[in-house]
Structure 1
Amino acid sequence: MAADSFDRRIIDQLRIDGRRSFGEIGRYVGLSEAAVRSRYNRLRKLGIVQVVGMPDATRLGEVEAHVSIRVRGVTVASVARQLSAHPEVKFVGAALGAYDLVLDVRCADNEHLSTFVHETVRRIRGIERLETVMVLEILEDSYLWAGFRDAVDRQN
């Protein structure tokens, strides 16, 4: 079963505050606490939702970058697996367009980022082209479904 509008609203409530109780979420979305708990457990078991702490790297003094990679001569999956093995890599996504992979990378400082990109990433066989964009400041970090933004704004 795919996620329905109630599931999406539950997920949005968890995105606002992952510690919010099922009862409180139920009041916002129009379901009972038990129904929210059941849906949450189903979504978690299906791998659709995971509640975790999301740090703001720039406020922690760390460096965050987005890396786009074009792969040639090997499978995209093989490069993705190698990249995923590094703790600096927080997200790997297959892409369509000019690049085959997009990464979110978090490093301790500029030197660490430079070393990681030049001495680790560039040495992976099959990487033909790489572009790195460094994040200077996070201005917006919202993963809410557009249809629910108005309701979320009213709650905050």
Structure 2
Amino acid sequence: MSSGSMDALDLALVHALQVDGRAPFNGIGEVLGVSEHTIARRYRRLRAQGLLRIVGTLDGTLLGHTSWAVRLVCTPDAAGPVAEALARRDDTVWVRLLSGGTEIVCGVHAGGEEDGDALLLKKLPRTPRVVSMTAHATLHMYAGWRSRIAVLSEEQVARLSPAPPSTTEVSFSEQDLAMLRVLAQDGRAGYGDLAAAGRCSQSTVRRRVEQLRGAGALRFDVEIPPRALGYRAEAWLWMKVRPARLAEVGAALAEHPEVDVAAAITGPSNLMAGVTCRDTQDLYRYLTERVAPLDGVREVETSPVIRTVKRVGAVLP
């Protein structure tokens, strides 16, 4: 899908939803200067075309989860089916097919330190067509998943922004988790649907969603294919950085607009980053002009993304 499929109002709507994924359409319309009906119609069209999806996601650390990046090398005929099988699991957050179509990288959450590597291995497909696997625990996030649409003014963003999260402790009930499974599929699901899932009243659900958001336990991410915005070159970088420079390099990557996510990890590579560029020439310039000069970077392995099988997903117990 080309960037021509989205006009200026579409982009403004997407930016508004990045600020608050559950902002009411009438509120967005007021900020953008159009009617509620227009905003609702635009949202439905973008969603129907597969260009826009709002996903409710949990902060896994509050559930005692450990985040892993898992790399699998498969036989050429197996990578696609294995990637799709991984994407269907609730315990994968994202899944990408890399390189020549034989490598998969995915985000997996293990339920706690007691589970460790053994539990992680049990979660992966058992097939001889998986040739090798390495798992890297996330130690520190320098940049989280983010979009590259920023068209609203500071004043418009301020009007749409929800209250900043507090440091309130939070726990999850079975009722909460039933509701959150619905939000993992549609972050803008109505309170009626959430109440039915949680078997409670709409007022209870509304209050609970606000509590979880206020505690920073629940956020709403905007899923949009980069190609819809004119970006055609995605890659995963596996970097070996001198330990004394790791924090400095990670912080520098977080400032690069090309970087979607950057994290310190365990394993032979101690820093990973997902990047998105306009095209392969733009990716080349990024590697040679932005990454290469960073002091402390010893090696960079670049794995082009062939296909994103799962972009955003919630991990629930």
TM-score by length of 2: 0.41
The separation in 2 between residues aligned to 1:125 and 1:131, in whole angstroms, is: 17
The structure-2 alpha-carbon separation of the partners of 1:101 and 1:40, relative to structure 1 and needing over 3 Å to count, comes to farther
Q: 1:134 aligns with which of 298, 301, 304?
A: 304
The separation in 2 between residues aligned to 1:33 and 1:76, in whole angstroms, is: 47
The separation in 1 between residues aligned to 2:174 and 2:293, in whole angstroms, is: 44
* Greater Rg over alpha carbons, structure: 2
The separation in 2 between residues aligned to 1:22 and 1:35, in whole angstroms, is: 9
Given the alignment of the two structures, is residue 69 of structure 1 paired with residue 261 of structure 2, yes or no?
A: no
Q: 1:121 aligns with which of 287, 291, 295?
A: 291
The structure-2 alpha-carbon separation of the partners of 1:45 and 1:119, relative to structure 1 and needing over 3 Å to count, comes to same
The separation in 2 between residues aligned to 1:88 and 1:34, in whole angstroms, is: 42
Given the alignment of the two structures, is residue 46 of structure 1 paired with residue 215 of structure 2, yes or no?
A: yes
The structure-2 alpha-carbon separation of the partners of 1:61 and 1:6, relative to structure 1 and needing over 3 Å to count, comes to farther
1:105-155 per-position Cα deviation (integer Å, ceiling 9, x unaligned)? 1111111111112210121111122111111122334524376xxxxxxxx
Q: Is the 8 A contact 1:58 1:137 kept in 2?
A: no
TM-score by length of 1: 0.78
The separation in 1 between residues aligned to 2:245 and 2:171, in whole angstroms, is: 30
Q: Matched residue pairs, number? A: 147
Given the alignment of the two structures, is residue 26 of structure 1 paired with residue 195 of structure 2, yes or no?
A: yes
Shift of 1:103: 1.2
The separation in 1 between residues aligned to 2:295 and 2:178, in whole angstroms, is: 42
The structure-2 alpha-carbon separation of the partners of 1:19 and 1:136, relative to structure 1 and needing over 3 Å to count, comes to same
Q: 1:85 aligns with which of 255, 268, 276?
A: 255
The structure-2 alpha-carbon separation of the partners of 1:120 and 1:6, relative to structure 1 and needing over 3 Å to count, comes to farther
The structure-2 alpha-carbon separation of the partners of 1:44 and 1:61, relative to structure 1 and needing over 3 Å to count, comes to same
Q: Is the 8 A contact 1:68 1:102 kept in 2?
A: yes
Task: Kindly report the root-mean-square deviation, in angstroms, between the aligned alpha carbons of the 2 structures.
Answer: 2.4
The separation in 1 between residues aligned to 2:287 and 2:174, in whole angstroms, is: 41
Letter in 2 for 1:111: Q
Greater fraction strand: 2
**Which residue is 1:94 aligned to?**
264
The separation in 1 between residues aligned to 2:177 and 2:269, in whole angstroms, is: 30
The separation in 1 between residues aligned to 2:297 and 2:246, in whole angstroms, is: 9
The structure-2 alpha-carbon separation of the partners of 1:89 and 1:10, relative to structure 1 and needing over 3 Å to count, comes to farther
Q: Is the 8 A contact 1:58 1:64 kept in 2?
A: no
1:67-92 per-position Cα deviation (integer Å, ceiling 9, x unaligned)? 11121053422211110011111111
Q: Runs of 5+ in structure 2 lacking a partner?
A: 1-169
Q: Runs of 5+ in structure 1 lacking a partner?
A: 148-156
Partner SS for 1:138:
strand
Identity of aligned residues (%): 27
